[in-house]
Structure 1
Amino acid sequence: MRPHGASEPALEPAVVEQAMQWLVRLQSGASSEAEQRACERWRLQSSAHELAWQRLNGLGQGLREGTHGLSAQGARQLLQARAQVSRRAVLSGLVGAGVLIAGGYSLQQRTLLPTVFSDYATGTGERHSWHLQGGLVLQLDTGSALDIDSAAGARLLTLNRGRLLLEPGQNADVRLRSAQVLIRPAPASRLIVQQLATTTQVQVLQGAALIDYGQGGARLERVAGWQQHFSAAGAEPAQPLNAAATAWTQGQLVAERMPLTQLLAELDRYRPGILRCDPRIAALRVSGTFSVDQPDVSLALLTEVLPVRVQRVLGYWAQVIPA
């Protein structure tokens, strides 16, 4: 494959998004033969589709170059070492290759790279738990990525993407970092931390946590029963803990008069492909419990309780529109 120069045509954001969704799905190890054939059909639909596919595959190949023949741990360590010195260079190279498009499309938001470099990661529609030494328990939600760095007996966790349920254990010395905060959970506490586009949400289920935030190094303590968002500008007002905060850990999404567009945005995180909401019905309110493990079943349920229908293209694109 020849190198991609800056003179090559830029790709539409929607095409890049489709290619990334296909790539993540097919490399997850959970794709079916039907999905592989559907991806091939998508690639054949236009030269832009094939170009986006080739560029993203070239990116993955380059990042993994030289890891063949190594143990899984050795390969991961090599990739992490590269990541520490070349993340910015890789992103710059993507801009030159036309994979990132001027005008606000952010690879960090779609987050292909964290799944390449991170110690622990989940794909679309996947949740996974780990029980580590010292009593540390982790559960990652769909599309999440986490790094762990241990030094002098302490563990520094970095949430690169997505949502994490953290249980430090009685004797675990743990710190958790996101883009906006540094969290020091108390022993035997339980908390959920979610990295959103511009904020970090912290939900304390049990115990307490010290939270450092803001450029001035402000600190506050939150105890069980409270949740709060933190941005680069500071801390938003604390709120009582959402009663359904842990529903995702059981594969459920609980809605209480939730705008349809918000509910679909949540289901979109668990469904391979693209899910969109027609603006004409975006404000419809939805109440009920929906499965995130079976998002298409949840979509079918919506058509029974709301005046909507689901319009699909190849099973990949789906849009909820007025019935």
Structure 2
Amino acid sequence: MPSNPIPLQDPVLDQAIAWLVKLRAFPGDAAVAPELQAGIAAWRAADPRHEQVWSELMASEEQFQRLVALPVPASQWHGPLKRLNQRRQHSQSRRRWMGNAMLGLGAIALGAVAARQAGLFEALDGASYATRTGDQRQLRLGDGTALALNTSSSVQLRFDDTRRLLLLRQGEIFIDTGADAQWPHHRPFWVQTAHARLQALGTRFDVRQHGDGTQLTVLEGRVAVHVAGVDPLVAQPGEIVDIHPDGRLVRRAARASAMDPTAWLEQSLVVRQMRLADVVAQLARYRSGWLQCDPAVADWQVSGVFQLQDTDVALEALAQALPLTIERRTRFWVRVAAAGKR
């Protein structure tokens, strides 16, 4: 019989991730490797559960590295971690989050046909949805589109007879466009950000609006990027397009990114050889207050899988795995610095 799954919240998994982060942080340091390998071996041998979790984590890491090295769609990136992440559905917070989403889906589905017949199908037009810092939300719109909002995000719907328009006011969203089957004719689906207008061409994609512009990640289908004064660019599956405030469009392969752009859908942060300062900046998105990284350690390379449900746990994992200290003046003032530095 298969062994019982270990919950993601289990401290053994946190310990395994801490070892993995340390193992991947300095891959070229031969002097550290023997001592580190010995420490990992001793930890694995200390308890059968340690070996079980380590084996599964390493299998996921191995698959993730293969996927990053191969030209595969970004939609497959979270696959190697699916076995680990899907266990979160057993936690209370996951049940509550998904339960609320499914209640919303059921209510919309039951009312969609009746609303359409009554001429009220576009009752969602003008509706706004938002999330607070650290929260996420999943919705099913009346046209069948699945919409997920990441932390500190807000959107507004503008649906009419000719088009479906979603205004991204701030933050990040994931969209799986619906067929709009209840409408008598096809209406194009658009996402408007502060920097561009994006036309979905039957697709699944992620859009993040931030201070440096807009980032588009296409998982399936295609997305046309429209910027004033620039010919439209059609992004393909597995591509990221960085849209700068000055209108510049920079296309790059998602497989070359240091971060899985859609791991947040599983409430995870997955990074590979990413600057510590950038990892800390990502964690800061999911917590209130001030979280910064000391410039002295900003360029350290980090690889690992971190939970976003509790960023304090992620910070402690970094501190345990690397020679770092987490300085806390208050719960809202936190700095990541080199161990022993004040």
Instruction: Specify the TM-score bucket, using the shorter chain as the normaliser.
Output: 0.5 to 0.7
Match of 1:237 in 2: 250
Match of 1:179 in 2: 194
Match of 2:208 in 1: 194
Give the SS at the match of 1:133. Answer: coil
1:260 aligns to 2:253 (yes or no):
no
Give the partner amino acid of 1:175.
Answer: W
Match of 1:14 in 2: none
Give the SS at the match of 1:313. Answer: strand
Match of 2:224 in 1: 210
Give the SS at the match of 1:238. Answer: strand
Cα RMSD of the aligned pairs, angstroms, is 2.2
Match of 1:289 in 2: 305
Distance 2:234 2:177 in 1: 17
Match of 1:54 in 2: none
**Correspondences of 1:122-141 after superposition (within 5 Å):** 122-141=131-150
**Correspondences of 1:18-57 after superposition (within 5 Å):** none
The alpha-carbon deviation at position 268 of structure 1 amounts to 0.5
Larger RCO: Structure 1 or Structure 2 (Cα < 8 Å, ≥ 6 residues apart)?
2
1:169 aligns to 2:183 (yes or no):
no
Match of 1:224 in 2: 237
The alpha-carbon deviation at position 173 of structure 1 amounts to 3.5
Match of 2:26 in 1: none
The count of residues paired between Structure 1 and Structure 2 equals: 208
TM-score, normalised on structure 2?
0.57
- Indicate if the aligned counterparts of 1:228 and 1:235 stay in contact, CA closer than 8 A: no
- Indicate if the aligned counterparts of 1:278 and 1:322 stay in contact, CA closer than 8 A: yes
- Indicate if the aligned counterparts of 1:129 and 1:139 stay in contact, CA closer than 8 A: yes
Give the partner amino acid of 2:198.
Answer: I
The alpha-carbon deviation at position 129 of structure 1 amounts to 0.6
Give the partner amino acid of 1:202.
Answer: L
Give the partner amino acid of 2:147.
Answer: L
Deviations 1:10-51 (A, max 9, x none): xxxxxxxxxxxxxxxxxxxxxxxxxxxxxxxxxxxxxxxxxx
Deviations 1:64-93 (A, max 9, x none): xxxxxxxxxxxxx9xx8xxxxxxxxxxxxx
Give the partner amino acid of 2:327.
Answer: Q
The percent identity for this pair of structures is 30
The alpha-carbon deviation at position 153 of structure 1 amounts to 5.2
Give the SS at the match of 1:224. Answer: coil
- Indicate if the aligned counterparts of 2:243 and 2:250 stay in contact, CA closer than 8 A: no
- Indicate if the aligned counterparts of 2:155 and 2:166 stay in contact, CA closer than 8 A: yes
The alpha-carbon deviation at position 281 of structure 1 amounts to 1.3
The alpha-carbon deviation at position 181 of structure 1 amounts to 0.9
Choose which of 314, 317, 324 in structure 2 pairs with 1:301. 317
Change (3 A) 1:230 1:317: same
Give the partner amino acid of 2:195.
Answer: Q
1:246 aligns to 2:262 (yes or no):
yes
Match of 1:33 in 2: none
Give the partner amino acid of 1:228.
Answer: V
1:147 aligns to 2:156 (yes or no):
yes
Match of 1:113 in 2: none
Distance 2:246 2:162 in 1: 33
Runs of 4+ aligned residues of structure 1 deviating over 4 Å after TM superposition are none
Choose which of 286, 289, 294 in structure 2 pairs with 1:278. 294
Distance 2:152 2:209 in 1: 11
Match of 1:110 in 2: none
Give the partner amino acid of 1:235.
Answer: R
Gaps of 5+ in 2: 1-124, 181-186
Give the SS at the match of 1:135. Answer: coil
The alpha-carbon deviation at position 237 of structure 1 amounts to 3.0
The alpha-carbon deviation at position 288 of structure 1 amounts to 0.6
The alpha-carbon deviation at position 154 of structure 1 amounts to 2.4
